[in-house]
């Protein structure tokens, strides 16, 4: 039998990254400060994880100015959505197998 752990996404195994992707999939787009509030993490911590997700091309970043303040918006890419879906499926399989 195939090992279901192999299907887990290495990038999404970190809980904060998984939570970021959850927010970006449930919403059209989300900005940095709202994400920080939602996840209750520090600036630096969140920035590191956003960079990692960006590097994998799971998310896209767009920067703009609102009332002369910089605002960074994130969106999940199609690639990110697929990876997220696969990762959840794998998580469910892992949990189900262990329960048997």
User: Which residues sit at the interface with other proteins, rule CB under 8 A?
Assistant: 5, 13, 15, 18-19, 22-23, 25-27, 30-31, 34, 37-39, 88, 91-92, 94-95, 98
Among 2, 1, 19, 4, smallest CA distance to 94 is for: 4
Instruction: Choose between 28 and 78: whose C-beta lies nearer to other proteins.
Output: 28
Nearest distance in Å: CB 98, other proteins:
4
Nearest distance in Å: CB 28, other proteins:
9
Kindly list the distances between the CA atom of residue 86 and the CA atoms of 39, 44, 57, 67, 73, in Å, as whole numbers in the listed order.
23, 28, 16, 39, 25
Nearest distance in Å: CB 87, other proteins:
9
Instruction: Choose between 38 and 47: whose C-beta lies nearer to other proteins.
Output: 38
Instruction: Choose between 23 and 47: whose C-beta lies nearer to other proteins.
Output: 23
Terminal Cα-to-Cα distance of the chain (whole angstroms): 15
**Residues 6 or more apart whose Cβ sits within 8 Å of residue 38:** 23, 30
């Amino acid at each position: 039998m195939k090992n279901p752990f192999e299907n887990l996404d290495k990038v999404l195994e970190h809980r904060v990254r998984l939570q970021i992707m959850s927010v970006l999939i449930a919403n059209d787009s989300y900005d940095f400060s709202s994400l920080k509030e939602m996840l209750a993490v520090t600036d630096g911590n969140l920035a590191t994880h956003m960079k990692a997700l960006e590097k994998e091309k799971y998310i896209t970043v767009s920067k703009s100015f609102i009332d002369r303040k910089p605002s960074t918006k994130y969106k999940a890419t199609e690639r990110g959505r697929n990876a997220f879906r696969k990762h959840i499926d794998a998580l469910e399989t892992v949990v189900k197998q262990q329960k048997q």
